[in-house]
Chain A
Amino acid sequence: MTKPLSIRNLVKNFGGLTATDDISFDLNEGQSTGLIGPNGAGKTTIFSQIMGEYRQTSGTIELNGTEISKLSTPARIRLGVSRTYQVPRPFAEFTVLENVRVGLMPDSIWKMITESPNVDREIELALSVGFSESDLRRTPDELSMGDLRKLEMARTMATNPRIMLLDEVFAGLTVGEIDQIAKLIQKMRSENMTFLIVSHDLKALEPLVDDAIAINYGKVIAQGSFASVISDKAVRTSYLGT
């Protein structure tokens, strides 16, 4: 069975800086993996390379067995991988619903013209991430950071991915909001969604993942079950800095 995501010997150099230093790992279908590490360890850079925002210096990335390094970002999304961004980037003049609408659109001009928006689905997605009915027609400037993160989540789900890369999706959320997103993730897990989740909030992360990968200075320093990774000495050192 081909794995949803397979990364081999990924290297990314930015001039003199090696942001990604020979990283390899796989994701199995329906598996949820936590990606942890201190700030600047290179977690977001990995996401960017998977999505095609950066071209890796060397190494391979396979999505369901297909090498995707030559594909554009939209092409990769259509193949089933999608991500949220640490700094939300919604469409500033669109309402919540319209923001989701863009994510739901097929990449075909003909279809865009001839088919109507699926407003029911837009509402369904927006409500599922925790928006209330009255929020649906708000624009990003009227939303809190927590709401903006929810919007990121909804937009990512709209592209109908099979693998979701979540980048600090809990940051800035209230306990209640975290709970809501966590429930959503659990529901998607039960529907066999594959996750790679970056989060500093280890407590929130723990119930959502099957295993974890710890990164520092662009290298994998521990891999395995969540409990074993967070009790790993090297990992604790990387977080505490001694």
Chain B
Amino acid sequence: MGLGLRWYHFALWAGFILVMALMPEFVSKGTLRTMIFANFLAIFAISWDVLSGRTGYISFGHPFLIGIGAYTTAILTKRFDVPVEYAIPAAIAMTMVGGTIMFLPALRIKGSYFALVSLAFMELIYQLVQVIRPDLTGGTRGMSGIVTLTRGAANGYYLSFSLMIIVALSMWLLMRTRLGTALSAIAMNEESVKGSGLSPTKLKLFAFMTSAFVAGLGGAFYVHYLGSIAPRALFDINFVFTIIVATLIGGASTIVGPMFGAFFLTFLLEYLRPFLPGAERYLIYGAIALLLYMYQPKGLYHIFMSQLDRFKKKGDDD
């Protein structure tokens, strides 16, 4: 597969998993709950990264996909008493259908227009769930009393972390193959990709499908963690913003970047909560994000790696 794995990759991942698995022993319930959110945000950020971070087709409507996964499983389990084992795969399948729908405009239009359209998709679904069959979707208020899969902070943490680490590892490995190279090439020069004998259409479809798969997975499990669904919070530009900034701060297209970015962000927001309880936190957080992004659009991952390179070079010189 040409993954180029070295011993330190294994060591770092193993170490990370070990530390995270032992977390419930060391931290309070409150912190655990925060980490659960961070895990889910990481899943959403990674799913965004696979598509937008890699191919450069920036989507400002990612909650469209997450929402399809969330609503499908919510409706199936609550309204039709479908068991969770079937509802979640169905939700993922539906999300992939949604991903295909979202992919269609990407065939014809580029860059900025796609970003706009994706925003329109999110607005569309926001309005539709409130208006079409509110008896099923719960309308403007959403739904509550949805079956939850775990009880207690520790169990919720283990489930969310397991999901997150499986997603992160598989996406990380996938992007290290030539597929990842091809997807990045699309972002750099789509015409040149064609000129290299590769069909960007196939590649983009795959990226959309994969992104949708993970988004649907995350959305479905998230709903079964919260036990409720609220369209106003879900289809909200702030949510888009959170996902995108988590990815960018961490480092777009790196998979690991979005993962750490999600944690960084979640904890930053939590830390600011006692000082700025309301949405004002987004002000600080947004300002930091903006400054960081303008200074280094490639994110913390890149800053970290280039420092490491410099450190290595120094070592070579000695």
Residues of A within 8 A of B (CB): 51, 72-75, 77-78, 82-83, 85, 89-94, 98, 101-103, 105, 107, 109, 112-117, 155, 158-159
Contact = CB atoms under 8 A, between A and B. Distances in A.
Q: Which of B2, B174, B193, B203 has the most CB of A within 10 A?
A: B2
By secondary structure, the B interface counts as helix
B112 interface: no
A51 B203 CA distance: 20
Contacts of B1: 113-116
A92 B191 CA distance: 13
Contacts of B193: 102
A24 B191 CA distance: 27
Interface string B160-186: 000000000000001001110110110
A92 B189 CA distance: 8
Nearest to A140: B188
A102 B2 contact: no
Q: When A and B form their complex, which 8 residue pairs have the shortest distance between CB atoms, in order from nearest?
A: A116-B2, A77-B197, A112-B178, A112-B179, A91-B188, A103-B196, A73-B194, A159-B197
Contact of A155 (B177, B196, B206): B196
Contact of B196 (A72, A117, A159): A159
A113 B198 contact: no
Given A78-B197, A155-B196, A112 B188 contact: no
A114 B188 CA distance: 23
Given A73-B194, A77-B196, A93 B184 contact: yes
B2 A89 contact: no
Nearest to A88: B192
B296 interface: no
Contacts of B188: 91-94
B277 interface: no
Contacts of A72: 194, 199
Contact of B181 (A82, A83, A101): A101
A107 B202 contact: yes
A91 B185 contact: yes
B197 A107 contact: yes
Interface of B: 1-3, 174, 177-179, 181-182, 184-185, 188-189, 191-199, 202-203, 206
A105 B177 contact: no
A105 B199 contact: no
Contacts of B192: 89-91, 102
Nearest to B197: A77
B189 A91 contact: yes
Q: Which of A72, A98, A102, A115 has the most CB of B within 10 A?
A: A102
Given A92-B189, A101-B181, A112-B182, 16 more contacts: A72-B194, A77-B197, A78-B197, A89-B189, A89-B192, A90-B189, A94-B181, A102-B182, A105-B178, A105-B182, A109-B202, A113-B1, A113-B174, A116-B1, A117-B2, A155-B195
Contacts of B174: 113
Q: Which of B174, B188, B191, B206 has the most CB of A within 10 A?
A: B188
A22 B190 CA distance: 31
A146 to B, nearest CB: 19
B257 to A, nearest CB: 15
Nearest to B202: A109
9 contacts: A77-B196, A77-B197, A94-B188, A98-B181, A102-B192, A102-B193, A109-B206, A113-B179, A114-B177
